[in-house]
């Protein structure tokens, strides 16, 4: 029995041994014959490393599918941490960097420079509007300086850190800007630094031909943000830029690197999580002779496409009309302030933004080369006045008072107030300088003729609590829900004044009724306010994003429609009365000359407010003109709000409204130019 077991074991061991030898022989044959070339390449390699392949950001399109922002391929010049001189080789690093800078400056090519220092009049100063990166530069992880360190202190620390003493002050600063950029992203093996983007082919070739000197300087084909027309909606599209320490701390767990670019404003910022793609990976092999080969081991994935509600055709019309109206007014009147204003156009069905323009404006495609000039321009062309500026809105507030008084039963359509051009309230004297058809003014004519006396009286009857109750429903003094950053504005009230340690005075109530006191609303709020009236009393969330789709457009990730923020419950009778008053403004009132050529009726309300500005060193009172409107009157499709800074009346911004309605309705008649300056219209 034992002999039989022993024999079986011998057979089993023999079989296993033969099988093992067969496997080893097969592997040897496979390696030496079938996979000979592959293994020879691996044996001859002396190093292999992984590099990131930047993913393209998602495209941004208008509501009709026209591409506003897309990507093109271009060369970026990068420093490869595996081959660039090490941190201990300061002199060689500096020699390479200054050589590149001199070459680029001679050819007029931009290179990356985020250092918040500059040389002015022989002195080192901080760049304007660079508080965040200045704080970062002084921080413990960078230069480790005190918060109160001066620009000169920072400069001296950089010169010492990077051994730049032998260069001129100007060249020290230039080299330091690159060295600092390398420092802040942790440049080294596996971490590349982008010296310049969109570098011309001939420049790249010249550098690559001298690779023995430019050790570790490499070129990469990368996606570059490109604009179909950089002048279209720059404040809406927004900018991308270098990551800062604060953003990196929030985003590093989501796969971001310190060297990444991110959205800084507008849709680029608001939709960052969708526009950001997924980087790929490349393995780079270097053999013992220094020859490099690469293999893509992970393909990059482009970011999602964001489809806006903006109509690029209407956007251009709105932008051009706004510019023309402001410049025309300044030419006739001699405006004392820089030409500036805004216009917002909403769809009445869902408050989607069809156009949003701010003036002065800029070309986003040339922002980089013009950044210094744009950031210091007096008229602030980078500022989005449509969403971020808030103004006392003047008589555009009067329809809200009419709605509140009608709904509360304080007045009806037959109610009248006697106006003799003067109104006294607790010792305060108010004027009404408008020409009335009759001294006894009802609500419809009060809206059309903008009668201060009527609304002062009605405001007193209402009280501030009731007045503001309806303004809150109409969205005044609160954010509209836009994806893009916006100002909340101010709804003046006893509570608001108390938050400022101020007393609410009785006269504030009646002042608020005619759009004065401390109220301050943004153009986008005013547009949504008039839309709520136009559509019958429903306030929707304002939105710029129509949908988000995958990069190949095969799937829809987000689809935005009408989102109700407030169903006001305002009666159809009240809405009808207020709309009829606004119709008179556009058909027989102050704005009729601007709209009478249009085949559709426009309902609107003008407004003028005052503010104080520093002009030539003096505090000077100026006017701002407003116009809110909707059209067509019989079937409202679009709601519009426009403001012209420094305008004595809202009627002078009416050509903008006319151009928008004309385009939207597919008309081609020439809009009548603005008449000469006349009386002040609230």
Q: How far apart are CA 629 and CA 586, in angstroms?
A: 9
Work out the average pLDDT over 279-287: 81
What is the reported pLDDT for 28?
Answer: 60
- Interacting residues of 568 by C-beta distance below 8 A, sequence separation 6+: 470, 473, 474, 532, 537, 538, 539
User: Residue 59 pLDDT more than 80?
Assistant: yes
Work out the average pLDDT over 234-252: 91
- Mean pLDDT lowest among 35-44, 60-69, 181-190, 350-359: 35-44
- Interacting residues of 185 by C-beta distance below 8 A, sequence separation 6+: 191, 193, 257, 258, 259
CA 216 to chain CA mean position, Å: 37
Helix then strand count (H, E) for the chain reads 24, 25
Helix residue ranges per DSSP H, 540-650: 572-587, 592-595
Quick count: other Cβ atoms within 10 Å of Cβ 428? Answer: 13
The reply to whether 312-664 shares the fold of 49-305 is no
Fold of 312-664: Beta-lactamase (3.40.710)
What is the reported pLDDT for 190?
Answer: 79
Where does the pLDDT of residue 333 fall: very low under 50, low under 70, confident under 90, or very high at 90 and above? low
Work out the average pLDDT over 211-225: 92
Q: How far apart are CA 562 and CA 530, in angstroms?
A: 16
Q: How far apart are CA 539 and CA 530, in angstroms?
A: 10
Average pLDDT over the chain, rounded to an integer: 89
Supply the DSSP symbol for 669.
P
Domain spans in the chain, listed from the N-terminal domain onward: 2-34, 49-305, 312-664
Looking at the chain, the whole-number percentage of residues with pLDDT higher than 90 is 71
Strands 545-549 and 556-559: antiparallel
Residue pair 305/61 in contact (Cβ under 8 Å)? The answer is yes
3-state secondary structure 299-340: CCECCCEEEECCCHHHHHHHHHHHHHHHHHHHHHHCCCCCCC
Q: Between 372 and 111, whose confidence is greater?
A: 111
Work out the average pLDDT over 16-40: 60
Residue with tokens 């496997």: 23
Class of domain 49-305: alpha beta
154: which 2 tokens?
């920072």
Residue pair 396/379 in contact (Cβ under 8 Å)? The answer is no
């Amino acid at each position: 029995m034992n002999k039989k077991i022993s024999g079986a074991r011998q057979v089993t061991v023999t079989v296993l041994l033969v099988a093992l030898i067969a496997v080893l022989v097969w592997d040897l044959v496979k390696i030496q014959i079938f996979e000979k070339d592959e293994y020879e390449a691996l044996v001859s390699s002396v190093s292999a490393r992984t590099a990131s392949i930047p993913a393209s950001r998602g495209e941004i399109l208008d509501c009709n599918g026209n591409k506003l922002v897309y990507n093109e391929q271009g060369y970026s010049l990068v420093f490869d941490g595996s081959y660039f001189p090490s941190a201990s080789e300061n002199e060689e690093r500096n020699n390479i960097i200054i050589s590149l800078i001199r070459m680029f400056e001679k050819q007029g090519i931009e290179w990356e420079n985020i250092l918040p220092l500059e040389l002015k009049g022989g002195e080192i100063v901080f760049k304007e509007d660079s508080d965040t990166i200045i704080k970062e530069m002084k921080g413990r992880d960078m230069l480790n300086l005190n918060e109160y360190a001066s620009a000169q202190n920072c400069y001296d620390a950089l010169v010492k850190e990077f051994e730049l003493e032998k260069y001129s002050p100007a060249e020290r600063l230039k080299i330091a800007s690159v060295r600092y950029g390398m420092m802040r992203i942790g440049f080294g093996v596996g971490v590349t630094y982008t010296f310049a983007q969109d570098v011309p082919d001939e420049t790249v070739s010249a550098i690559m031909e001298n690779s023995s000197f430019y050790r570790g300087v490499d070129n990469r084909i990368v996606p570059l943000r490109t604009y179909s027309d950089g002048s279209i909606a720059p404040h809406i599209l927004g900018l991308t830029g270098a990551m800062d320490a604060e953003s990196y701390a929030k985003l590093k767990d989501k796969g971001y690197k310190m060297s990444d670019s991110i959205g800084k404003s507008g849709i680029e910022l608001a939709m960052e999580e969708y526009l950001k793609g997924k980087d790929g990976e490349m393995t780079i092999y270097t053999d013992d002779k220094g020859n490099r080969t690469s293999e893509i081991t992970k393909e990059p994935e482009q970011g999602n496409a964001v489809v806006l509600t903006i109509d690029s055709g209407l956007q251009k019309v709105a932008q051009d009309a706004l510019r023309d109206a402001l410049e025309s007014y300044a030419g006739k009147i001699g405006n004392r302030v820089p030409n500036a204003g805004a216009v917002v156009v909403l769809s009445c069905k869902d408050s989607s933004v069809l156009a949003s323009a701010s003036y002065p404006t800029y070309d986003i495609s040339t922002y980089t080369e013009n950044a210094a000039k744009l950031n210091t321009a007096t008229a602030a062309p980078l500022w989005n006045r449509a969403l971020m500026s808030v103004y006392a809105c003047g008589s555009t507030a009067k329809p809200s008072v009419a709605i509140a008084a009608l709904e509360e039963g304080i007045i009806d359509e037959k109610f009248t107030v006697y106006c003799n051009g003067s109104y006294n309230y607790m010792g305060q004297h108010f004027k009404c300088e408008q020409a009335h058809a009759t001294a006894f003014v009802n609500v419809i004519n009060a809206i059309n003729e903008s009668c201060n006396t009527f609304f002062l009286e009605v405001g007193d009857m209402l009280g501030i609590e009731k007045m503001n109750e309806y303004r809150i429903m109409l969205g005044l003094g609160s954010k509209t829900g836009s994806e893009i950053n916006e100002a909340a504005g101010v709804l003046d009230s006893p509570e608001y004044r108390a938050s400022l340690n101020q007393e609410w005075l009785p006269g504030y109530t009646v002042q608020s009724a005619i759009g004065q006191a401390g109220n301050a609303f943004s153009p986008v709020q005013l547009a949504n306010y008039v839309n709520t009236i136009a559509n019958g009393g429903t306030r929707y969330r304002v939105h710029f994003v129509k949908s988000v789709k995958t990069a190949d457009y095969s799937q829809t990730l987000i689809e935005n429609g009408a989102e109700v923020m407030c169903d006001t419950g305002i009666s159809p009778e009240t809405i009808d009365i207020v709309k009829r008053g606004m119709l008179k403004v556009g058909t027989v009132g102050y704005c009729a000359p601007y709209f009478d050529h249009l085949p559709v009726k426009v309902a609107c309300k003008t407004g003028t407010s005052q503010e104080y500005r520093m002009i030539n060193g003096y505090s000077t009172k100026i006017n701002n003109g407003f116009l809110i409107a909707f059209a067509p009157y019989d079937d409202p499709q679009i709601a519009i709000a426009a403001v012209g800074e420094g305008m004595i009346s809202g009627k002078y911004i009416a050509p903008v409204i006319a151009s928008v309605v004309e385009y939207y309705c597919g008309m081609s008649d020439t809009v009548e130019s603005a008449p000469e300056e006349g009386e002040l219209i609230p």
